[in-house]
Chains A and B, each alone.
Chain A
Amino acid sequence: MKKPRRMIRLGHRVGQIMDIPLEAIGDTVKICIIADSFASIENYKGVFECTESLIRLRTAYGIVRIEGENLSLGELRSERAVINGRVKSVAFEN
C-alpha cells in the first residue's frame, strides 16, 4: 500500500535537514545506472514482470520499467535488485 504523499514529503524534509541519504528514509527508491549495462534498484517491493527485453519492479512510487536487451536479474535480494544486460530506458509507470 502506498504511503500518503504528506508522509513522504515529511520524511524528505527531515532527511534534508539532518543530511541523511533519502534512500535510508522509509521506502524511497534509489536507482543507479552504470553505463548501459548495469542498473541497481534499492528499496523495491517485488518483481512485477521479468522478460529478456522488459523488467518491471514494484516500488513505493509506482512501477519502475526497465527496457533493454538480454536483461537478467543478476542479484535479487530483499532490499536490492541488480539488472544486467543492455539497458535502454528506465521509466516510472503511473
Chain B
Amino acid sequence: MDPVVRSAVIYVALLVFLRLAGRRTLMQMTSFDFVLLLIIGEATQNALLQNDSSVTNALLVILTLISLDIAFSYVKQRVPIVARWIEGLPMIIVRDGRPLTDLMVKARVSEFDVLSAARESQGLERMEQIKYAVLETTGSISIIPRN
C-alpha cells in the first residue's frame, strides 16, 4: 500500500481507538500505561514502514502524519462540533464539596481520584474543601478550592 494511504489509515484508526479508550484510560501515565503506549508504538511502526526502509518512505510517512495533524487542528478550530467529538468537553464532577456520583461513574473517575488530585495540586484534605473539580479533556482533574 502507498505510504501516504497507510499512514492516513493508521492515524485515523489510532485516533478512533484512543478516543474509545476514554480520557482516563491511557492518560494517567502510570508506568503500565507508559509501557502500553510503547508497545502500541512498536506495533504501529512495522505497519507504517513495512519492509521499506528507504528515506523516501520514512519522509512520506512523517509528511503524511504531520499534514494530517495540521489539517485536523485547522478543522477543529473552524468546526467546533468536530473538536467536541475528537477531544470531548470538560465536565464538572464535584460541586461545592458534593461529588456528582452519577457523572463520575459514567466517566470512570472515583472519589479517590478526585481527592488525590486535590492533594497533589492544592494540598487539600477533605472533599468539602473542594469548590469545583473538573475532569478536563486531557483526562486530568483540576481542582478549585473553596475560599
The answer to whether A and B interact is no
